[in-house]
């Protein structure tokens, strides 16, 4: 199965802020239930970074005075691991597992964010595929439907 098959769910989880947005705006966005990642976009709408709850907490622990009103560009993760709609979900899972990622942005050919994939969703789909294959093999071996 490919990423584009689950893009509808990934789109629902996409939360974006502009590169010059204050950290407080990103923190509010991360307060939305089931939101674990905020995509940071430049003026052209291209993904240039991400912010997680961990990034916000690390920054807030050092906040003094107006430090929490700085732009998200000062604290965002810039080296973003992304996937594309044409990628296989198994390949995406292997990347997520190797990098210990709980979520990964999906980007289009123009680097615009299309959604956020969660590891639990990818695993659930992969498990369903394995269960379906197991049932087909069992039916084949048992000659179910073949007389």
Note the pLDDT tens digit of each residue in 57-81.
887 766 666 656 788 998 999 999 9
Question: How would residue 54 be classed by pLDDT, with cut points 50, 70 and 90?
Answer: confident
Q: Which residues pair with 47 in a beta bridge?
A: 41
pLDDT above 80: residue 130: no
CATH number for position 111: 3.10.580.10
Interatomic CA distance for residues 15 and 102, integer angstroms: 16
pLDDT above 90: residue 113: yes
Tell whether 109 is covered by a domain.
Answer: yes
Tell whether 146 is covered by a domain.
Answer: no
Residue with tokens 């439907």: 145
List of residues 6+ apart from 24 with CB closer than 8 A: 68, 69
Give how many domains the chain has, as a whole number.
1
Tell whether 147 is covered by a domain.
Answer: no
The pLDDT of residue 55: 86
Q: Which range of residues forms the domain containing residue 80?
A: 3-141
pTM above 0.95, yes or no: no
Interatomic CA distance for residues 116 and 101, integer angstroms: 12
- Can you give the length of the chain in residues? 147
Tell whether 67 is covered by a domain.
Answer: yes
The pLDDT of residue 85: 97
Tell whether 20 is covered by a domain.
Answer: yes
Mean pLDDT over 46-63 rounds to: 85
């Amino acid at each position: 199965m490919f990423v584009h098959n689950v893009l509808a769910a990934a789109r629902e989880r996409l939360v974006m802020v502009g590169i010059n947005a204050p950290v407080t705006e990103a923190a509010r966005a991360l307060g939305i239930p089931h939101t674990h990642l905020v995509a940071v976009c430049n003026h052209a709408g291209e993904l240039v970074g991400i912010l997680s709850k961990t990034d916000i907490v690390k920054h807030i622990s050092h906040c003094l005075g107006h430090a929490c009103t700085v732009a998200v560009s000062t604290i965002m993760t810039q080296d973003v691991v992304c996937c594309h709609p044409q990628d296989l979900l198994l390949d995406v899972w292997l990347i997520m597992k190797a990098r210990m990622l709980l979520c990964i942005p999906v980007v289009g050919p123009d680097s615009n964010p299309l959604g956020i994939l969660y590891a639990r969703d990818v695993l659930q789909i992969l498990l369903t595929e394995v269960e379906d294959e197991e049932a087909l093999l069992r039916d084949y071996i048992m000659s179910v439907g073949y007389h």
